[in-house]
């Protein structure tokens, strides 16, 4: 794991960082005169953990938030966790035949990525894999939308997604891509072992090379006649179908 520095903003994101990853929080900024009672809770939580707290103007928070709605709270991370892609096979091995991975092929919208991370964390996913190029990375908006999932879930930003899929296959992972034109139903697919669910970008879907590295393509049946779901909704449906099968 390597380390980098950044700001996280929003009440949920800051509270989650203090709860799950306080050792990497160096400073908390809170709006002077902020009326939300959760601001006081965050201040108390930070002070209990001997983290510096500063009351600042709304303009100062606007500056560090970079356009993201901060709700009167921001925190400076000096060491946000990032995972090296060579650590991924080890996580699969540790899952003892029950690895569940979410692979996102070029998601562009930070709100969609944040929602996908939230679903993945709720489903107990082993990890999430995203490409480094032509895809949104974990930023302040993603952290806020993920409601803390970005602080607790292993997220791998990989240089070559096709190569990573090949490595996962070598590690014994079955890879299923979601595509509207697929013949096989998600619900008729065995998702109880080592499985990676691959979803494409909002506009283009799965890229050709990504499709070629899948063991199979599956679709979510949609009797309502719509062609596709929002990527974060589709991710939630697919992940929790895997959860349902594993609990059964």
**Do the annotations mark residue 200 as ligand-binding?**
yes
229 is in an annotated binding site: yes
The 3-state DSSP class for residue 105 equals strand
Alpha-carbon distance of 114 to 142, in angstroms, equals 4
Give phi and psi for 148, each to the nearest 5: 100, -15
E strand spans, the chain: 2-9, 25-31, 52-56, 73-82, 100-105, 127-131, 155-158, 174-178, 184-185, 195-200, 216-219
Point out the catalytic residue in the list 31, 41, 167, 227: 31
Q: Compute φ and ψ for 112, nearest 5 degrees.
A: -65, -45
> Is 31 among the catalytic positions?
yes
Whether 172 has a binding-site annotation, put simply, is no
Q: What angle do CA 91, 95, 100 make, to 5 degrees?
A: 85
How many Å apart are CA 70 and CA 108, to the nearest integer? 21
Residue with tokens 């998601």: 107
Active-site residue list? 31
Query: Annotated binding residues for S-adenosyl-L-methionine, as ranges?
Result: 200, 220, 229
């Amino acid at each position: 794991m390597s380390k980098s520095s950044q700001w996280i903003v929003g009440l949920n994101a800051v509270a989650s960082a203090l709860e799950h990853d306080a050792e990497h929080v160096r400073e908390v900024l809170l709006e002077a005169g902020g009326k939300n009672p959760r601001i006081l809770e965050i201040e108390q939580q930070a002070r209990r953990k001997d983290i510096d707290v500063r009351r600042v103007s709304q303009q100062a928070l606007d500056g560090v938030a970079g356009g993201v709605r901060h709700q009167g709270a921001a925190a400076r991370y000096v060491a946000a966790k990032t995972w090296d892609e060579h650590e991924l096979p080890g996580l699969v091995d540790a899952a003892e035949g029950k690895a569940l991975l979410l692979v996102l092929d070029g998601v562009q919208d930070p709100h969609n990525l944040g929602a996908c991370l939230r679903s993945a964390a709720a489903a107990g996913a082993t990890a999430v894999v995203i490409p480094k190029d032509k895809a949104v990375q974990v930023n302040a908006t993603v952290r806020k939308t993920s409601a803390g999932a970005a602080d607790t879930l292993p997220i791998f930003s990989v240089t070559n997604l096709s190569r990573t899929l090949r490595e996962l296959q070598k590690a014994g992972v079955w890879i299923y891509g979601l595509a509207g034109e697929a013949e096989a139903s998600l619900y008729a697919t065995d998702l109880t072992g080592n499985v990676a669910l691959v979803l494409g970008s909002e506009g283009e879907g799965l890229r050709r090379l990504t499709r070629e590295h899948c063991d199979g393509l599956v679709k979510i049946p949609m009797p309502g006649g719509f062609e596709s779901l929002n990527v974060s909704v589709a991710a939630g449906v697919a992940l929790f179908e895997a959860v349902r099968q594993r609990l059964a």
